[in-house]
Amino acid sequence: MAPRAASYPLLDGRCDEYAALPHDAFAVARGVELDVFQDRDYVWLCVGLPPGDFGAVDLVVATPGLAGPLNLHASAQLGEWPATQPPPADASSSTWGNQRGWSAVTVPFHGTDDAGQVRFSPTPARELQLAKQRFGRGAWRLDLTVHAVSTIGGDARFAHTLAVW
C-alpha cells in the first residue's frame, strides 16, 4: 500500500511535508524559504534553513486578535513579549516559556562537551504553529527575522501581510 500524503504538517522542524499541502511559499533569502499552511483553526509557518544553521527566529505579528504587535521568539527557548519592548535581558527571565496560543520547535539540545558547555544541533527548519483563536482572523502582518543565516552572512528579514480566514 502506498503511503498517504500528510493531511497536516507535524510540528517537527521539517518543511518537506508542506509540498503535499495547499500552502503559500516565499523566498526569504538565499537558502531560506518560508512555507505557510492554514486550516480552520491554525496557521503553520515553516522556515527552511541552510544546512548547518540553527535558525533562531523572531516573528513580530500584528493581528486582529491582539491589542498590539507581539514578538514571538523561537531559539533554544520560546517566549513572547510586546514588540515595542526589548527582548529579555538574560536566559533566566520569566518572559521565556510564557507563550500562549502558539508553539514552535526549539533548537535541539545536544548534550554538553567535556568542559560542561551546552551544545545544540542544527535543524532543517524552524517551525511554528499559531492558533487563530488567540490571534484572530483577517489580515496578519508578519515581520520575520531569521538570525545568523550562513548563506548571506547575517540576518534574513521578510515582511508579508497574510490573509487568515
Instruction: Sketch the domain layout of the chain as residue ranges.
Output: 16-164
Rounded CA-CA distance 57/90 in Å is 17
Q: Residue 52: helix, strand or coil by DSSP?
A: coil
| Bridge partners (DSSP) listed for residue 62 | 141
Q: Which residues of 95-134 are buried (b: 16+ CB within 10 A; e: fewer)?
A: bbeebebbbbbbbeeeeeeeeeeeeeeebbbbbbbbebee
pTM > 0.75: yes or no = yes
Q: What is the CATH number of domain 16-164?
A: 2.60.40
Q: Residue 9: helix, strand or coil by DSSP?
A: coil
Q: Residue 17: helix, strand or coil by DSSP?
A: helix
Express each pLDDT in 90-128 by its tens digit.
988 988 998 999 999 999 899 999 999 999 999 899 999
Q: Tell me, what's the pLDDT at 153?
A: 96
Non-local CB neighbours of 114 within 8 Å, separated by 6+ positions: none
- What's the alpha-carbon Rg for the chain, to the nearest Å? 16
Express each pLDDT in 21-56 by its tens digit.
999 999 999 999 999 999 999 999 999 999 999 999
Mean pLDDT of the chain: 94
Q: Tell me, what's the pLDDT at 91?
A: 85
Express each pLDDT in 129-144 by its tens digit.
999 999 999 999 999 9
**Per-position DSSP letters for 82-128, written without gaps between them:** ETTSPPPSSTT-TTBT---SEEEPPPPEEEE-TT--EEE---SEEEE
